A and B are shown apart, each in its own frame.
Chain A
């Protein structure tokens, strides 16, 4: 189960961050922010070899001693970041992939809401409930 889920817009400002409330939230905000650098790096590397399609799932961005950070970028440069506890070794790669897929699907559904303007902070209850189900 994720400890923190974040959605970041293409201009690199956060659209949505949700953390498990018992922890020090600011620490997660900082972790997500620093992970953006790693995301940029991964995205730019493939840019040189434009014949190959870059995969949306970026995988493990970097491990800290307590947490592992995973990234996912859509083709519109919207980034999803999931932070999980390192002690939670039972979470396998394809489980993380399926979490990102669910996030992406929910995000797309929310985008189809005519009352949501892309770039606005996310306030949709459906999206929030889906994220809470992952934490």
Chain B
């Protein structure tokens, strides 16, 4: 019993490092298997997409949020609730496009890339590309088609990690064939 209470205070910290190391091992193995940065980026995005379509259910169940009225609300929920719930960070929202359909998430200390240094010759690799996939998959499940990509990456020498999201269109559920 006493051991459980000792862990209850700090279980997240231990899991955080394990998570970082696990993700690191995953990316390193992908790099060894595919040997091509672009291919690895694509695979990471695919994996992220699969995570995203499932994660959104968990997120909606836990956060109890209602449907967002516009893209700005969406961005606020993603940053304040989504990232906080799963990664423990709150990215800053900035660089809104004039039409209001594009924005950037600025991440200062990405837990996925703690301790990571990109090896020589792999400058095309977007190490945290899984995040792009997760965002795309999750938003697709709430009927938003978005494009997500990396603009800046601290691992490549920039000051901050910047992910850009662009709203493409609303996805309407197609009427099933056979129904009027």
Chain B 1-37, CB within 8 Å of chain A: the 1/0 string? 0000000000000000100110111011001000000
Contact B28–A114 (Cβ < 8 Å):
yes
- Check B73 for interface membership: any CB of A closer than 8 A: no
Contact B115–A109 (Cβ < 8 Å):
yes
Segment among B38-46, B116-124, B135-143, B158-166 that sits at the interface with chain A: B116-124
Contact B114–A126 (Cβ < 8 Å):
no
Distance, CA A42 to CA B20, complexed state (A) = 36
- Check A125 for interface membership: any CB of B closer than 8 A: yes
Chain A 111-126, CB within 8 Å of chain B: the 1/0 string? 0111110000000111
Of the candidates B31, B114, B118, B119, the one having the most CB atoms from chain A within 10 angstroms of its own CB is B119
Contact A124–B114 (Cβ < 8 Å):
no
Measured as residues with beta carbon below 8 angstroms from the partner, the interface class of chain B is 10 to 19
Distance, CA A113 to CA B20, complexed state (A) = 10
- Nearest chain A residue, comparing its CB with the CB of B118: A115
Chain A 91-135, CB within 8 Å of chain B: the 1/0 string? 000000000000000000110111110000000111000000000
Identify A124's interface contact among B23, B31, B117, CB under 8 A.
B117
Distance, CA A110 to CA B20, complexed state (A) = 14
Contact B21–A113 (Cβ < 8 Å):
no
Distance, CA A115 to CA B121, complexed state (A) = 12
Contact A125–B117 (Cβ < 8 Å):
yes
Of the candidates B23, B115, B116, B118, the one having the most CB atoms from chain A within 10 angstroms of its own CB is B115
B positions within 8 Å CB-CB of A: 17, 20-21, 23-25, 27-28, 31, 114-119
